């Protein structure tokens, strides 16, 4: 599905809302016979102005409310991500307060329209309309804080990655500088790199796609690189990052764990192995998510480094893949493995 916050557009502040509404109200004209009494013309004209202004405000506020999807009805992945990026309770409160002024505006409109029907002099119409606009302004201005809050948070929510629940998702994990992003780019079909960056707390998520030609239709695989999320021990994560991992667990179909057997990435093998076991234990759903192991930087790795890592992980030769993500060497083999796996499914 698309990011449910994609339609969360700019939220005007109170001044912008009032300027639009009052301008439209003042430009509106009531249909009155030229021969009608001046008093009747005044009543019709000012009634129309109040009605148009209030209706414009109510419609725009309703539109703002409807731009934000119901958080409780969202899929778990989006619900978790939204709760990481913004204060959900504050979001709901802001929307609730905006919704709460709709009956107040409706009541103000009725009251002033009723008073306009009872005026005895044309000038009273202008005075009543000004009074109505003043009370309306007071109501809207009190909502400026809520309007500003909604506009402040919409950017983060709109940039949540679009995840299709009908498509498989490969999550790429490993320490920084082991070649995760390069692998995501290389396995994108025909080098058509579709990598986008999304703010994830202070981190980034990179989404790429691998398209597999199926017997009847093509299969699109989502490849999610997670720099700053799955690249250090769980003990060093804060509560927000642990929530982020929970969110990723909800969509992962396969974990691609990337090792650098060399000292080039700046992290020793022991630390990388510890992270691997933590991801395997904590990230996969009850250990049921398959993990494919990649030894990257084969161009730099010594035979002894590869053998050492293989022995530490108790792996056979056919239980890991040697790659060079910069040149793309052996990534075709990895891609074929992925294709066979998903074609079979």
Domain end among 104, 127, 158: 158
Rounded CA-CA distance 25/54 in Å is: 8
How far, rounded to the nearest angstrom, does the alpha carbon of residue 12 sit from its chain's CA centroid? 20
Q: How far is CA 125 from the centre of its chain?
A: 48
CA distance 114 to 105: 14
Q: Which range among 17-31, 142-156, 168-182, 220-234 shows the weakest confidence by mean pLDDT?
A: 220-234
- Residues 143, 200: one domain? no
The bridge status of strand 254-259 relative to strand 219-225 is: unpaired
Q: How confident is the model at residue 99 (pLDDT cuts 50, 70, 90)?
A: very high
Distance CA(333)–CA(71), nearest Å, equals 42
Q: Which residues of 81-117 are buried (b: 16+ CB within 10 A; e: fewer)?
A: bbbbbbeeeebeebbeebeebeeebeebbeebbeebe
Distance CA 325, CA 323 (A): 6
Instruction: Confirm whether 6 is domain-assigned.
Output: no
- Answer with the residue of higher pLDDT: 210 or 21: 21
Query: Do residue 150 and residue 191 come from a single domain?
Result: no
Q: Are residues 19 and 149 in the same domain?
A: yes
Tell me: do 174 and 29 sit in the same domain. no
**Is position 7 within any domain?**
no
Return the pLDDT at 278: 83
Q: Are residues 183 and 313 in the same domain?
A: yes
Look at residue 202 and tell me whether its pLDDT is greater than 50: no
Q: How would residue 304 be classed by pLDDT, with cut points 50, 70 and 90? A: very high
Of 226, 273, 276, nearest to 252 by C-alpha is: 226
Of the chain, the percentage scoring pLDDT greater than 90 comes to: 46
**pLDDT: is 135 or 184 the higher one?**
135
How does pLDDT run across 2-49, given as a tens digit for each residue?
Answer: 788 999 999 999 999 999 999 999 998 767 677 778 898 889 999 999
Tell the burial category of 308 from Cβ atoms under 10 Å away from its Cβ (0-12, 13-18, 19+).
middle
Please tell me whether residues 226 and 268 are part of one structural domain.
yes
**311 and 195 co-located in one domain:** yes
Q: CA angle, corner 233, sides to 231 and 236, nearest 5?
A: 110
Q: Which helix (H) or strand (E) holds 156?
A: helix 144-158
Q: Quickly list DSSP for 219-252.
A: EEEEEEE-TTTSSS-GGG--HHHHHHHHHHHTT-
- Say whether pLDDT at 117 is over 80: yes
Percentage of residues in the chain with pLDDT exceeding 70?
87
Comparing CA positions, the residue from 247, 239, 249, 319 lying closest to residue 281 is: 249
What's 246's domain CATH number?
3.40.50.300
Say which DSSP state 286 is in. G
For residues 80 and 101, the model is more confident at 101
State which of 129, 158, 187 marks the end of a domain.
Answer: 158
Find the CATH number of the domain harbouring 126.
1.20.120.1190
Is 262 within the bounds of a domain? yes
Residue 76 neighbours by CB distance under 10 Å:
12
Same-domain status, 64 and 127 = yes
Structure confidence by residue, pLDDT tens digits, 233-285: 777 777 666 666 766 777 788 889 999 999 888 889 999 999 898 888 776 55
Domain assignment present for 76: yes
The boundaries of the domain holding residue 116 are: 14-158
pLDDT of residue 104: 98
Rounded Cα gap, residues 341 and 345, in angstroms:
7
Give whole-number Cα distances, 192 to 188, 210, 224, in Å. 6, 9, 16
DSSP structural state of residue 253:
S
Structurally, the chain folds into a number of domains equal to 2
Residues 123 and 151 in one domain: yes
């Amino acid at each position: 599905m698309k990011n449910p916050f994609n339609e969360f557009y700019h939220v005007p502040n109170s001044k912008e809302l009032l300027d639009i509404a009052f301008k439209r109200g003042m430009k509106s004209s009531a249909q009155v016979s030229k021969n009608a009494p001046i008093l009747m013309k005044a009543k019709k004209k000012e009634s129309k102005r109040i009605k148009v202004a209030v209706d414009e405000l109510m419609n725009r506020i309703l539109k703002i409310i409807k731009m934000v999807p119901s958080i409780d009805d969202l899929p778990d992945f989006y619900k978790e991500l939204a709760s990481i990026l913004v204060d959900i309770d504050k979001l709901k409160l802001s929307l609730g307060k905006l919704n709460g002024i709709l009956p107040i505006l409706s009541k103000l409109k009725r009251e002033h329209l009723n008073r306009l029907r009872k005026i005895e002099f044309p000038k009273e119409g202008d005075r009543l309309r000004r009074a109505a606009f003043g009370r309306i302004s007071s109501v809207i201005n009190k909502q400026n804080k809520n309007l500003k809050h909604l506009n402040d948070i919409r950017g983060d929510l709109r940039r949540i990655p679009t995840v299709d629940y009908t498509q498989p998702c490969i999550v790429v994990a490993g320490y920084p500088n082991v070649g995760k992003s390069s692998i995501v780019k290389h396995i994108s079909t025909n080098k058509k790199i579709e990598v986008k960056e999304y703010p994830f707390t202070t981190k980034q998520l990179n989404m790429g796609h691998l398209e597999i030609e199926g017997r009847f239709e093509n299969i699109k695989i989502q490849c999610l690189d997670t720099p700053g999320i799955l690249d250090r021990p769980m003990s060093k994560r804060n509560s927000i990052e642990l929530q982020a991992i929970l969110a990723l667990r909800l969509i992962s179909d396969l974990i691609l764990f990337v090792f650098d057997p060399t000292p080039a990435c700046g992290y020793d093998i022991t630390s990388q192995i510890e992270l691997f076991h933590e991801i395997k234990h904590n990230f996969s759903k009850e250990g049921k998510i398959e993990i494919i192991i990649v030894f990257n930087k084969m161009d730099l790795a010594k035979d002894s480094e590869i053998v050492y890592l293989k022995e530490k992980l108790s792996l056979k030769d056919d239980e890991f893949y040697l790659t060079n993500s910069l040149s793309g060497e052996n990534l075709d083999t990895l891609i074929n493995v992925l294709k066979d796996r998903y074609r079979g499914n």
